[in-house]
Amino acid sequence: MVPASHKGPLWSHWQEERFTGAVDNDVVEAHCQQPQACFGPSGSVCFMHTRLLHASSPNETPLPRTLFISVYAAEDALPFGENPLPSAHAGQLVAGEESGLVRSTVNQLRLPQKPRGASFFVQQAGADSASM
């Protein structure tokens, strides 16, 4: 992961008119030359900002690598698309009160394609037909 990269620009996850879920190689070459590792023993959890530049190595073991993504956002921040794997807890307010407002910043981004499979890694690898 690249410390403080979440404070920088919004990087596109599209290459050659295809949603890849990854930033362009030019971004990696320019901003990811001194990444910091984030390791822990089995069962460890890593919390990070969703805009933080990060990556992981392929799982080269015969054991499955479990991924659990939980997104917490301010009450006045709305998602740009529906969750492809919805939860009964989606949209649940965990603290504070409903404001009836939407927070917005000046940014332009291309919306991701909704994956047809359950794995984000399949979409990144280009094997999900929704990303073609």
Mean pLDDT confidence for 18-26: 87
Domain residues for the domain of 27 are 1-56
Provide the 8-state DSSP code for 15: E
pLDDT tens-place string over residues 84-126: 777 888 888 988 899 999 988 787 777 777 766 656 666 666 6
User: What residues have CB less than 8 Å from 104, skipping those under 6 apart?
Assistant: none
pLDDT value, residue 42: 81
| Per-residue CA distances from 112 to 22, 39, 51 (Å) | 11, 29, 14
- Quick one: tokens of 129? 């037909």
Could you tell me if residue 123 is inside a domain?
no
CA separation for the pair 73, 87 (Å, rounded): 15
Q: Return the higher-pLDDT residue of 35 and 112.
A: 35
Mean pLDDT of the chain: 82
Could you tell me if residue 87 is inside a domain?
no
Could you tell me if residue 24 is inside a domain?
yes
Could you tell me if residue 96 is inside a domain?
no
Question: By the 8 A CB rule, do 117 and 128 touch?
Answer: yes
* DSSP run (H or E) holding 14: strand 14-15
